[in-house]
Structure 1
């Protein structure tokens, strides 16, 4: 499989709207069904999709043995050998419902380790992709691999590291864990993809022009998708006819598009070409209006002939090689011709780009478009702007669509841009950085905050939960509602290591604890005594760690100093209830509470008074008095 392969989970469901007008509901995108599949299931769905198409490369069996025995394996091989797909499959085989599969990401902070080992939790299944690191980066990262492996072992986790090509010797301590894999035969991969798509094929595969060249695995994926489309859209023909049409779409379209655009010199013809390419599959009425608005956007002179003397739309479509199907949808006759046209106009007519951006911004908000048509339009424009050169265009669009006054349609369009960027293998890191920059903006609008929350919840949580946590925390500090905080708590509740990470952010001096008032509310929700005393898969409750107890005491001291007792009393009662029931962790819970309130005699008195509210808590009162005496005795000694 290809190192550049990435599986995606699709499916978008819109909301219901009864009546006229826009729904200006800032929580529209945050509803449970807003982006289809639950984010908790996305990794499983993607890996199951990959598993059905995976052909095991030579050497993966040895890698499996090393991973199971030593918890870490380094996958080596040439680009295209299947290292990343192999890494995911090795971890998938070890997975269960209680173990989190996620990716480690190299950190960019100066004077800090490139690998944050705190991102590895108990029993986690993680992979680290180093396949594209530059030589300078590799020298930095290599020194951190031994400590990383030790952390993995300490947490009973498993790690697969995808090495850069030709890394050379890893060192005597690590080289024994390196396994080289070889790319599987393209014919085998093609056969497996066809089987997964339920495309009937001769056995063995006949000679195919596609196989005459050395193919990367992403080309196999695209080729099979085109074969499937040829089968589904044509609804007739043979396997060889589908394959031939798919091959033409892969190999000849750039030349055919250039020839057609050169022949169609009239502005209205080219506008219709581009409108159909951007809205391919949309209803003819949508194409008609979009074509007219595109001509306006490029300041093309209006047609002055009487209405009844104008060329009918179906004839104009025929002139450009498009047709209206029985359902009223417009499509090009040639398979995937729309994608080639979009790429041609963007690359070879740069003077159109600004006008095209304005047209997309306007059209995406048109009530004429269905949710699917709007999504397709925005995704197709986003695809053209993913490179670093054009990414500011997408940033600008998202900010404009989420600026007040906005509409649900604009919000959906903004969310589509961000989601599409996060799912692009080459550009996802840049989009995560952009979300970070937005999240730290003090003037962050509620609308843009909602888009960020949805992106973190439905995309980043699945593969990069640590980065999602940081971005949600920044939004939660600045939002006027509670949605980011609720989403953040949901994320933290899934993994004890994320709770530890969040406690660090709320109490470590380098994060200036207490600077943000909303951090107090966050702490009170994170200070869940049931979660803190849960022993987990390794029989190791977080509150048994001295670092966690110190963080909790610091957090409670901030709560006691900055909030009245009626705010925190209910949480204290929960702590006392758990302390009364859980003898194993009773002293740790009470020590934290007394340690947090040691600077405030009134708080300690209030704490003792609460223990007297219930007969079952009476023994706790004696322990609290003992802790208070110990604390004050130490202070006066």
Structure 2
């Protein structure tokens, strides 16, 4: 079992992935375009230049190495494979969510996509929509934090949803809320499996030894369990905390390896870091009564690992942010920086980078200030907002600063602090460290279980608003293309659609939307449905332009891993007809002629279901004789323009004319019959 992150996986056919941090799956981008320095996706690359989905591969390896099956796993697996649904129950800390992910990863499947279902729905999205279940999907519904009211609503919808899951050979794992497992409806009780930890410490020690082994430490050092570790484990802490302790052990081993210290020493330091750091911080602060000392302590915690000069300047700026008067003491009479750092239990290394002497002391300092000084939070947000410009900071320093601030916002559920800095950083420029920090901060919020919904809701509000800075628009495009599709692809599509409808000038949002949609046949289907149903909340001109891009014949006829292409589906044919009808009603001939010619090409090239192209075009133009004439003229000119026109091309133009005349006569007959007395 592992310390699991609050994110789920979304991908076309790739493998599920989790571990510490966010989880991602790489999926096909259609038709694909090179990523340049101005591409919004580059805002989310980490300090090594890796994009979020590239980082996913490392995290996948991490999970597969560290996950250990709990009791009940085999029964849950058998039930999921046979009945396509399993309801996981267990005490908090037993690893329910991690188990759910691994079950979906391990069960045999043919294609499909990993998706997280929203327990309370989302803007423009139903909670459990059977029509959204795709062939061989792997679905997670995590209700571990849901209340009784949410569960009652879920139960009312679950039966119909399960029927769709089974019919489409998909798999669904539901993590049950606390205290409902023994009060399930009869049809669900047979699907319930309770997972648990075995008695004793075997599972916990297996987690620790496996973690040590993959960190390059000989696991035999843990054969003898020190009293410090035994006393900690006997309390049966949640498995995520056990995994966190294992991580601390690895950090301590890397910091002070053998033979400098023994495994007993590592355990003492790790347990100390996990259980006693915040009391130690409170004790230290009792002796730091002056504001400059406390400002230096918090600055060192927020910029842990940065250069000493940067930490010093940050402490000066923090004093100004809280309104502390300037120090009138002569510069020559003040204590040196190294002496002041020593007073807060920190020091500099040979490169003048500031670090605390004790493991995870910086994290405990941050927690202490945010928990015990709530009145400081607005000033801290202001201070962090200006800290990106500190001299000497590297990109990695800025990324860590953003992550640490995001952790505190998420931990204390201060969503408005997070949104305020996103707007501030993105509002100054659409280039540089500020906009990168804004994108990274919003990404951390989206990945967090506590603030994820609030972040999606705020992005929707921003996307549907009228006034956005260029920088904020670029940030929203970035997270909607790179972050949200990982867990909530439909929500990402909706927000990009709204951004594209309000995009003046530029076309970044439209290009991102087209790339996202053409890379995923389900989003393609869903977007065609949206475009076939015009809305007063969207721009009709934008919708028609989007339709012409998304009506790409190759994308409509490529089946991929599916049994049939989109063009074979009756609903898709209807939406395409409505889409073309909107085009014919609102756009001049010159704007749709080239797309119509691509459909003529597809009808002539022997593509699967190619005959439907002409049927859809002619059905869409039955209302307007002028459009019918222009469509036929387009086919005639298209046939003649080919350097070697063959009978197929000429025959297509003739077939189009015949189909138009047939539908026109049929329409006329229906109208006459309707008008007859």
TM exceeding 0.5:
yes
Match of 2:512 among 474, 480, 487: 487
Task: Give the direction of change, closer, same or farther, for the CA distance of 1:42–1:425 in structure 2 (3 Å limit).
Answer: farther
SS at match of 1:144: helix
Q: 1:72 touches 1:149 (CA, 8 Å); kept in 2?
A: yes
Q: 1:580 touches 1:586 (CA, 8 Å); kept in 2?
A: yes
- Counterpart CA distance in 2 for 1:498 and 1:262 is 57
Q: 1:4 touches 1:218 (CA, 8 Å); kept in 2?
A: yes
SS at match of 1:342: helix
Match of 1:221 among 227, 232, 243: 243
The residue aligned with 2:9 is none
Match of 2:195 among 162, 178, 181: 181
Task: Give the direction of change, closer, same or farther, for the CA distance of 1:610–1:30 in structure 2 (3 Å limit).
Answer: same
Moved more, 496-505 or 153-162: 153-162
Alignment gaps of 5+ in structure 2: 7-18, 24-35, 640-644, 670-677
Residue 167 (str. 1) matches residue 173 (str. 2): no
**Residues 135-214 of structure 1: matches in 2 within 5 Å?**
135-165=148-178, 166-168=180-182, 170-183=184-197, 185-201=203-219, 202-207=221-226, 208=229, 209-214=231-236
**Residues 243-392 of structure 1: matches in 2 within 5 Å?**
243-386=267-410, 390-392=414-416
- Counterpart CA distance in 2 for 1:132 and 1:407 is 39
SS at match of 1:599: coil
The residue aligned with 2:622 is 598
- The Cα shift of 1:559 comes to 1.5
Q: 1:230 touches 1:242 (CA, 8 Å); kept in 2?
A: yes
Match of 1:501 among 526, 544, 555: 526
Match of 1:31 among 8, 22, 42: 42
Task: Give the direction of change, closer, same or farther, for the CA distance of 1:583–1:450 in structure 2 (3 Å limit).
Answer: closer
Task: Name the TM-score, length of structure 1 as normaliser.
Answer: 0.91
- The Cα shift of 1:281 comes to 0.9
Residue 108 (str. 1) matches residue 121 (str. 2): yes
Question: In the TM superposition, what whole-angstrom CA distance separates every residue of 1:133-156 from its partner, at most 9, and x where no partner exists?
Answer: 211111111122221122123323
Q: 2:207 touches 2:246 (CA, 8 Å); kept in 1?
A: no
- Counterpart CA distance in 2 for 1:117 and 1:366 is 52
Q: 1:210 touches 1:247 (CA, 8 Å); kept in 2?
A: yes
Alignment gaps of 5+ in structure 1: 12-24
Q: 1:26 touches 1:446 (CA, 8 Å); kept in 2?
A: no
- The Cα shift of 1:479 comes to 2.0
Question: In the TM superposition, what whole-angstrom CA distance separates every residue of 1:108-156 from its partner, at most 9, and x where no partner exists?
Answer: 3699853123332222222111222211111111122221122123323
- The Cα shift of 1:527 comes to 0.9
- Counterpart CA distance in 2 for 1:503 and 1:527 is 8
SS at match of 2:406: helix
The residue aligned with 1:14 is none
- The Cα shift of 1:582 comes to 2.6
- Counterpart CA distance in 1 for 2:322 and 2:539 is 50
Q: 1:39 touches 1:461 (CA, 8 Å); kept in 2?
A: no
SS at match of 1:126: strand
SS at match of 1:31: helix
- The Cα shift of 1:331 comes to 0.8
SS at match of 1:179: strand
- Counterpart CA distance in 1 for 2:430 and 2:515 is 28
Task: Give the direction of change, closer, same or farther, for the CA distance of 1:322–1:64 in structure 2 (3 Å limit).
Answer: same
Match of 2:653 among 612, 621, 627: 621
Task: Give the direction of change, closer, same or farther, for the CA distance of 1:281–1:490 in structure 2 (3 Å limit).
Answer: same
Task: Give the direction of change, closer, same or farther, for the CA distance of 1:366–1:130 in structure 2 (3 Å limit).
Answer: same
Moved more, 57-66 or 241-250: 57-66
Aligned length: 623
Q: 1:101 touches 1:124 (CA, 8 Å); kept in 2?
A: yes
Task: Give the direction of change, closer, same or farther, for the CA distance of 1:592–1:205 in structure 2 (3 Å limit).
Answer: farther
- The Cα shift of 1:277 comes to 1.2
- Counterpart CA distance in 2 for 1:333 and 1:294 is 23
The residue aligned with 1:15 is none
Task: Give the direction of change, closer, same or farther, for the CA distance of 1:40–1:610 in structure 2 (3 Å limit).
Answer: farther
- Counterpart CA distance in 2 for 1:570 and 1:629 is 23
**Residues 552-563 of structure 1: matches in 2 within 5 Å?**
552-563=576-587
Task: Give the direction of change, closer, same or farther, for the CA distance of 1:434–1:329 in structure 2 (3 Å limit).
Answer: same
- The Cα shift of 1:626 comes to 2.7
CA RMSD, Structure 1 to Structure 2 (Å): 2.7
Task: Name the TM-score, length of structure 2 as normaliser.
Answer: 0.86
Moved more, 551-560 or 231-240: 231-240
- The Cα shift of 1:519 comes to 1.4
Question: In the TM superposition, what whole-angstrom CA distance separates every residue of 1:384-429 from its partner, at most 9, and x where no partner exists?
Answer: 2225752212211111111245651211221121111122222222
Moved more, 608-617 or 59-68: 608-617
